[in-house]
A and B are shown apart, each in its own frame.
Chain A
């Protein structure tokens, strides 16, 4: 059936000039017809490399086969066995370095657009309420989950299916963690996150917002209240700083603040939403990851005229998903690569320009990428805002109130192969353990930890 010559089916998108004035989704996804045509390109490998490359092992050729047969419910159920958030992962996974990067079709031709197919099937499942999770008989075991981001959601779903009494505690006033405060609406509509949370509620997972574990209630207090196993999925909520002069000037945002103001506090609707945001006409964004692209594209949408990415390596080394870089460039965002900020200048405590050192690429470093090397040449750019998006470290709140919870020097929680921390009955996963990574890796960790927690609960 597979037609190797047939090109990869393009995904319809909002045109760049239209979308820079709105927050609606950029990629519009496949129609059923388009999804079927793309699905036909899958050659159904005997040893599917895509499955191996998927952090949660979604049975990709199998769901694609169901899709081709028109058995959409089965396609959804196949994905859902391994991934409870297909609508989200289809949109935000870095497919080119996972499933699609491994796709054998990509060697001579173009890889199957697995992300778009997953999204299509995920959306079908959501819209038709296909997810019928069987819940085992109630065990009466209470489980507490810290954080309602991807790690916590995956952990909650898996443990609830085993019949445990699961409660998620969220620090903010809305659920979803980085899916809600971090990833913009135009890349991941919040209605999808809300649907997935509602789905968990239907399964019987309890959610409590405005509770900061470590402050409102400690790990010890949770145990005293009868929670027998605890999963920490508190994420990477601590921005990394450039640590250069001028970083505290007005007009310099950390990406987390900038994105939270828009995504969580809806400051683009100010004053009907009470949280303001300020954006000038010229904006620089430091960093080359997805967060940097999200911040740059958000800046454009709330009124910046010129937006520039400032990144110290080159285009080939941008850590962002390729699609995000392409979308950003189509939206007129310029890529100022091989530049590293060294000082921020300001007047009256407000940023006016940033001085950057030009870089070149040297030997490979520990990450396997060529190390940026300073050239001694400098260039200064006039700016109204500078957004710092150079990474996040694990949030320190839980650690500071729980000294017995062992962490690495950089803040990551130390766990063993069973995802257990230094504290008995306390497990952890996602960015809180790995440092800032991806939604799918966090979900994978949450799901895997759930297996071990289920086993642990049985031994009690």
Chain B
């Protein structure tokens, strides 16, 4: 059992949690993820490490599926059944002097440590965060604290620019000498961000989040097609060069259990949708 040391509500859908997990914290780096099970009947769900100290690990999760909703019902002082990591390859912080980070929704959490790493190595850092509306935007002040330029987009225009993250991204790629893009968020957003970067001949990294079970390369559930080759997101990723990822295939694979997800939500008392 792994104790929840701290819990904060970031907005209606998103929480922050700090978990006591020395064996995960010890070797954690930006880009690594963890797998947790909320309880003894729980699924194994992967979440990116949002930060850590010597003995604890921070996660930020959106309560969108059965297991994240169950996780959200836990409070500080409670514990989760299993918590293992750090998994995956640490983010590859490239030797670039000017980068653009693009985050959609809860993707702002895994992007944060990567952008900090770029800043620490002296890069000029621009970040675009997009969300459905201003209430669902997370980590704005944390980004403001260190980035050189911050851009906000919301679907409804309740904060920043109305529309998608790709609009300011395209502008910046046209108008600046930024060399590299890191895009993390919903697959559809990463797909268009990667396309935009490619159009303007910039390199792009994305962080993929397929369905996983063990997270150690054993089961192959998380396979994605990159450059026409099958890769396992858990051990070859989760970060990949985004210029040749089969995002459409990934979206289909992510949706394979959507009917079952619906069954689970009914169990939680959700109806409709």
Contact = CB atoms under 8 A, between A and B. Distances in A.
- A-B pairs with lowest CB-CB distance, top 10: A276-B260, A237-B218, A349-B252, A254-B220, A257-B219, A210-B84, A173-B82, A274-B43, A216-B23, A250-B256
A271 B263 contact: yes
Contacts of A397: 216-217, 235
B interface bracket (residues with beta carbon within 8 Å of A): 35 or more
A395 interface: yes
B257 interface: yes
A239 B219 contact: yes
B253 interface: yes
A237 B81 CA distance: 24
A169 B23 CA distance: 11
A352 to B, nearest CB: 14
A400 B234 CA distance: 13
B41 A212 contact: no
Contacts of B86: 215-216
Nearest to A178: B218
B89 to A, nearest CB: 8
B235 A260 contact: no
Contacts of A27: none
A401 B121 CA distance: 24
8 contacts: A173-B81, A210-B82, A215-B86, A216-B23, A248-B253, A274-B67, A350-B252, A397-B216
Given A217-B27, A396-B217, A400-B235, A248 B43 contact: no
A173 B216 CA distance: 12
B18 interface: no
Most buried by B among A241, A247, A260: A260
A211 B35 CA distance: 11
Nearest to B81: A173
Contacts of A276: 257, 260-261, 263-264
Contacts of B248: 349
Given A212-B87, A261-B213, A395 B264 contact: no
Contact of A278 (B82, B223, B235, B257): B257
Given A209-B82, A212-B87, A273-B41, 5 more contacts: A210-B83, A217-B23, A270-B260, A396-B235, A400-B235
A250 B42 CA distance: 23
Contact of A237 (B24, B216, B263): B216
A255 to B, nearest CB: 9
A212 B85 contact: yes
A131 interface: no
Interface in B235-273: 235, 246, 248-249, 252-253, 256-257, 260-261, 263-264, 267
A395 B85 contact: no
B214 interface: yes
A265 interface: yes
B195 interface: no
B79 interface: no
Contacts of A261: 213
A260 B218 contact: yes
Given A241-B230, A248-B230, A274 B84 contact: no
A459 interface: no
Interface string B34-68: 00010001111000000000000000000000110
A202 interface: no
Contacts of A251: 256
Given A210-B83, A271-B264, A260 B214 contact: yes
A395 B216 contact: yes
Contacts of B257: 276, 278
Nearest to B267: A271
B37 A173 contact: yes
A256 B83 contact: no
A136 interface: no
A261 B246 CA distance: 25
A11 to B, nearest CB: 32
Interface in A165-197: 171-173, 181
Nearest to A392: B218
A144 to B, nearest CB: 13
A348 B43 contact: no
Nearest to B25: A216
B249 A238 contact: no
A147 to B, nearest CB: 11
B41 to A, nearest CB: 5
A275 interface: yes
Interface in A231-286: 237-239, 241, 243, 247-248, 250-251, 254, 256-257, 260-261, 264-266, 270-276, 278
Nearest to A261: B213
Contacts of A139: none
B256 A172 contact: no
Contacts of A317: none
Contacts of B235: 396-397, 400
Contact of A212 (B216, B221, B267): B216
A211 B230 contact: no
Interface centre among B42, B216, B257 (most CB of A within 10 A): B216
B213 A216 contact: no
B218 A272 contact: no
Contacts of A400: 235
